Structure 1
Amino acid sequence: MIRSIDSCPTGVHGLDELLQGGFPKNSTILLIGHPGAGKTTFAAKFIYEGARKYGEKGLYISLYEPKYNFFKNMKKLGMDFEELEKKGLFKYINILPAAERDFIELFTNIYMNIIKTFRPSRLVIDSVTPILEVLGNEEARSFFRAVLFQKVPKYEITKIIVADLPYGEETIHLGGIEFVADGVIVMKTRISRGLITRWMEIRKMRGRAIPMGEIPFSISENVGIRILAPPRPETVPAPSLETIYFTGCKPLDEAIGGIPRGAQVLLIHPPGFRAYTELFTANLSTFLRNRLRILTITYSLPEKILWQAVMQITRTLNIDEEEIKKLIAIRSINPSAHSIHEMMAQVWSFVNEFKPDVLVLHGLR
């Protein structure tokens, strides 16, 4: 994606496409979420990718996590902040919160001084919840407007302000700062089938059309945040009647007239019926004769078993084994180990990788 001059890319693959390039440049984004929802990982990714990809200095001010823990945890997610620090592209400040109002003065002095001396392009404050606890809603609103949300003259800084959402709560009293922010993102979690499902809601983003209400994502090692929403096509193309593929099963072909290119076919069968191998046997010679690339994704069998069935079938077709492996790909997904959004993302990843003409989803029971 080509970077727009008025955008600040988030660095989260898939999200920048949804936001037409990223956050508005020089904006302040309020990031709210339950504990464990991924707020720190998201904010860290924003800083890390800005420095790594665009050479933009990033400043991370934490009111919770010591620097050593932050560096260690983020490195597991593929973000080496120690390397960025050595290059002068990153600075981490840990300010321990206190109940006294002196803490607010200390925070303000450190905040203003580090901006003037380090001159960051990206800034994260994680989190402002201790400030809210010291000041209360009304005073906090004045503080945020005067300090955190104020555009600093001569500096263009895109900021993420993190706030904690207690478990079981859907809203948080922020003294109205959500109205001052240029963008508001809420990160949430829920348990489904014993698995953690994460998603974000973009409640507000000035100058951006929001195409989705809920955006599913995952947190994984060496990647960090990964958006799981598949691309949204503008239109659903109709099957092409100009190209018809016949199954090789004469009664079936006579009944349905073959399968148009681009058609979606659902095969339902009784338990125990070896429908996959029977149908695959009938279709494989036709697919291969037309040099169609076939991707099979199975949710119930190991890849090895399906490859054995394929090789048995292709021995009678007089096609080189290496050629078969160029035309056929088989992938296996364990549905009990992934959320529905993760499985959808895996399917899309396999399709992008292999670019098939024929996609077979096996074992969708």
Structure 2
Amino acid sequence: MSHLATSTSDEITIPLNAWYKVAGSIRRGSIILVAGYPGAGKTTLASQFAYQGASSGEPSLYVSFVEPREDFMANALQFNMDFRPLEGRGLFRYYEALSVSDPEALGDVVEDVLSQVDSMNAKRVVIDSVTAVEQLARDPPRAREIMHSALYLGLKRRGATALLISELPVGQEASGLGPEEFIVDGIIVLRYRVVKGKLERYAEVRKMRGTNIKRSEFPIAITPRGVEIVVPPDISSMPSGVKPRRSFSLLGLRIPEGANILVAVDPSVDPLKITTLLLASSAISAGLKVVVKSFIHGPSTIRDQVSECVGEDLQGKLLVPTYEPSSMSGGELLANLFRLVEDFKPDVVIDEGNNVLLDLLDRDDYTKVIYGCLPYLATNNVVTFHIYLWPSERVFEIPLAKFYDFVISVRPVGDLLEVRLLKTWGEVLPGGSTYLKASDFTSCDFIKSNGLRPIS
């Protein structure tokens, strides 16, 4: 669990990576409603909120009407959040309210919760869930009285920043709390939809008082770090292609740092040696760190082929992630990429067989993945190659093909491979063709001299 944002005396952050990109900070003392489908990540998000607060010295109280303490603790541990040491230091308290069964007892519990806030001087409070409070109150007017007079105003007067969790039936838009949705300072809605057998998760910021909502809806993923936001960086942070810090050469083509290249390889050609030798092996030989993600070749095949020209010791030079894309949503794929770049800090990322990924995802979701991927990698000064098995005459049918800095086609012409530039960054005309022989891929000297390498 990483603590991803700092807080000031007047502001606090939702503990999600890149939250500031979509809604900035929120004011201390705000009451935020988190509504969502079952399994959408509400409790995980609320746990992150409490854990980040307690870990930074802000006493946090978690009130649950739905989950026993031991279950909560065990589930939090799955995301590397161990509340027990914080509990021992008086920075966290779990208030279990499972035994409440009637409206009178509910009123007593709410009063006791506010007393707990006072006794530990809680700065952050989670109520899980207000849906349970509403059901226990039985009478809608009584539920609103408890929600507004006791919880909302009670927490407001104490200056606590609170997350109120609300259950949202699948397909329903509103939380069902009625006027309370207008009273709270912010509303976050967590939802998902099933696409090709996978849950595509996303969050929506309905309102957030005192902040500038830059993006109202964005993909999320639930990873070992908890709930993660996966949005691309602001395009203003992308590096200059006119005056790059360094450039690279590939078959005589100058490529600026942070560029993204689409390579359409004719389906009759196996791109393995293009991926591993012309790109990865050459780059590693020149001292660059390379990531290869292949959707058509196994990790051992990639490593063995790369080692032909650079030797067996690839530790710290080559990373070949192993995961099953058919079981991952677009948000999870992006979250994995962001974490990989953050941890490994590559110079080059090569995705081989992206056409397979396109088949596994909904086309709109795939387009969002690519749009999230390319600016992020460019901002981190990573040269990116996306290799598709795709006919060259239809290359611009690939999602966001016109968004790439370079577009290259590879196709057999007799006994040769034609490598043709269809789009060249910064040039009015696309460029010409280079022809490769099969023997070129057996010469490590040719690979190191003509493959991907830095030139400045």
For this structure pair, what is the TM-score category when the shorter chain's length is used for normalisation?
0.7 to 0.9
Deviations 1:59-100 (A, max 9, x none): 111112222222222223322223222222222222236564
Verify the 8 A CA contact 2:131 2:166 in the aligned structure 1: yes
Q: What is the CA deviation profile of residues 304-332 of structure 1, one whole-angstrom value per residue up to 9, with x for unaligned ones?
A: 211211121336xxxxx65x655544334
Name the CA distance, whole Å, in 1 between partners of 2:194 and 2:315: 39
Alignment partner of 1:120 is 2:107: no
SS at match of 1:187: strand
Give the match for residue 8 of structure 1: 12
Q: 1:32 and 2:35 equivalent?
A: yes
- 1:277 paired with 2:270, answer no
Please tell me whether the aligned partners of residues 333 and 343 of structure 1 are also in contact (alpha carbons under 8 angstroms).
no
Q: In the alignment, what sits opposite 1:310?
A: 306
Choose 172-181 or 92-101, whichever is displaced more: 92-101
**In 1, Cα distance between the equivalents of 2:284 and 2:101?**
72
Q: Is the 8 A contact 1:47 1:123 kept in 2?
A: yes
Residue 200 of structure 2 aligns with an amino acid whose one-letter code is T
CA distance in 2, matches of 1:267, 1:153: 56
Q: 2 CA distance for matches of 1:300 and 1:277?
A: 13
Deviation at 1:42, TM superposition (A): 1.3
**Residue matched to 1:183:** 186
Structure 1 counterpart of 2:296, from 291, 300, 306: 300
| Partner Cα separation in structure 1 for residue 110 and residue 345 of structure 2 | 53
Query: Is the 1:218–1:342 Cα contact (8 Å) retained in structure 2?
Result: yes
For 1:220-265, what per-residue CA distance to the aligned partner results, in whole angstroms no more than 9, with x for missing partners?
Answer: 44x33233334333265563488764433xxxx5xxx554554432
1:111 equivalent in structure 2: 113
Q: Specify the SS of the correspondent of 1:78.
A: coil
Residue in structure 2 matching 1:337, options 327, 330, 337: 327
Query: CA shift at 1:165, angstroms?
Result: 1.1
Deviations 1:79-123 (A, max 9, x none): 222322222222222223656431342233222322232321111
Q: Given the alignment, which residue of 58, 61, 71 partners 1:59? A: 61
How much does 1:24 deviate?
1.7
Query: Residues 317-365 of structure 1: CA distance to partner in whole angstroms, max 9, x if unpaired?
Result: xxxx65x655544334431131112112222222233333333221111
Q: Which runs of 5+ in 1 are unaligned?
A: 316-320
- The aligned amino acid for 1:165 is L
Matched, 1:20 2:16: no
Letter in 1 for 2:60: G
| CA separation of 1:352 and 1:153: change in aligned 2, threshold 3 A | closer
Structure 2 counterpart of 1:49: 52
Is the contact between residue 295 and residue 328 of structure 1 (CA under 8 Å) also seen in structure 2? yes
**TM-score, structure 1 length as denominator?**
0.83
Shift of residue 45 of structure 1?
1.5
For 2:347, the equivalent position in structure 1 comes to 357
- CA displacement 1:21-63 (0-9 Å, x = unmatched): 4x321111111111111211211221112111x1111111111
Once residues 271 and 153 of structure 1 are traced to their aligned partners in structure 2, the CA distance between those partners, rounded to angstroms, is: 62
How far apart, in 1, do the equivalents of 2:238 and 2:255 lie?
Answer: 18
Structure 1 residues 25, 299: CA separation in 2 closer, same or farther (over 3 Å shift)? same
CA contact (8 A) 1:241 1:261 kept: no
Amino acid aligned to 1:228:
V
1:107-150 deviation digits (Å, cap 9, x = unpaired):
33222322232321111111111332335444433332211111
Other structure's SS at 2:118 match = helix
Q: Amino acid of the residue matched to residue 304 of structure 2?
A: Q
Distance 1:313 1:48, change over 3 A: same
CA-based RMSD of the aligned residues comes to: 2.9
Q: Normalising by structure 2, what TM-score?
A: 0.68
Quote the residue 2:434 is aligned against: none
Residues 1:205 and 2:220 aligned together: no
Give the drift of 1:177: 0.5
- % same residue: 28
| 2:236 alignment partner, SS class | coil
In the alignment, which residue of structure 2 is the partner of 1:318? none
Q: Distance in 2 between matches of 1:245 and 1:235?
A: 21
Whole-Å separation in 1 of the counterparts to 2:338 and 2:156: 45
- The 2-side partners of 1:279 and 1:16 are apart by 36
1:298 and 1:240, CA in 2 relative to 1: closer, same or farther beyond 3 A? farther
Unaligned runs of 5+ in 2: 356-456
Count residues in correspondence: 349
CA contact (8 A) 1:18 1:211 kept: yes
